[in-house]
Amino acid sequence: MRFNEKELVFLSRQPSEMAAELGMRGPKKGDVVKKRLVKLVVNFLFYFRTDEEEPIGALLLEQCRVEREDSQSFSVAFLDEAERKYLFECDSEEQCGEWIDSIIKASYEFMRKNLIFYRTEIHRLTGKDPLEQYGISDETRFQVSNGLQLTPRDAASL
């Protein structure tokens, strides 16, 4: 699958609040912990070999589960496969907590849900749609139904 690599590499070089050297271990059997410069930019987690300009790889932080593994490390699992787990080792419990929090909040879907919540609440409380001033009230991505996910149980009650 083609992708805009140059543009993505350029993105990875943008300033980020969450960038640090962490121990990183890949999901495959036999993968070992390696020191990597891990950087969170928008909803991507880039990882570099220390002092290299181009990242080794980019992980999209959507539909992933972030979990604390122990006091100083966390994992990110993709594709609902527990085996596809990346492990990250931090220097402190505090740093670990910050990373977990940041990664969760970086997800586009997470942000979308928040937006829809604020939009609905503000509208409920003031009678005004806060997105009108931006001219984006009609955009599908910001619609109320977009932030909701029906579980099988819920649908059965209809």
Partner 1 sequence: MKLHEKILTHYLSCTSPVDKEGYLYKKERNATYHRRWFVLKANLLFYQERPADRHLLGVIVLEGCAVRRVESDGRFAFSLVFEGPGLKTYRFAAVDVQTQESWVKALLSASHCYLSLLVRDLGRQYEEVKQQQSLGQPHHCSSVGALEETTSGLLPRPMDVVREGRNFSASTVLPAHSATTRAKKSPKLWPRRNALVTPLNKPAPQYSEWPLVGFDPLEDFRKIHDYYGQEVKKAREEWLRSRRAAEEQQDDGALIKLG
Q: Which of residues 42-61 bind partner 1 (CB under 8 A)?
A: 42-44, 54-60
Measured torsion, CA atoms of residues 113, 4, 65, 102, in degrees rounded to the nearest 10: -70
Q: Which residue has the tokens 């009108």?
A: 132
- Please give the structure tokens belonging to residue 33: 């912990």
Residues 6+ apart with CB under 8 A from 99: 18, 20, 22, 40, 74, 88, 90
The 3-state DSSP class for residue 146 equals: helix
**94 within 8 A of 100, measured Cβ to Cβ:** no
Q: Which stretch binds partner 1 (CB under 8 A): 11-19, 30-38, 88-96?
A: 11-19
Q: Which stretch binds partner 1 (CB under 8 A): 16-24, 28-36, 88-96, 142-150?
A: 142-150
Which of 3, 30, 70, 83 contacts partner 1 by CB under 8 A? 3
78 part of the interface to partner 1, by CB under 8 A: yes
Of residues 32 and 158, the one with the C-beta less far from partner 1? 158
Q: Please list every residue from 79 through 138 that binds partner 1, using CB under 8 A.
A: 79, 101, 104-105, 108-131, 134, 136-138
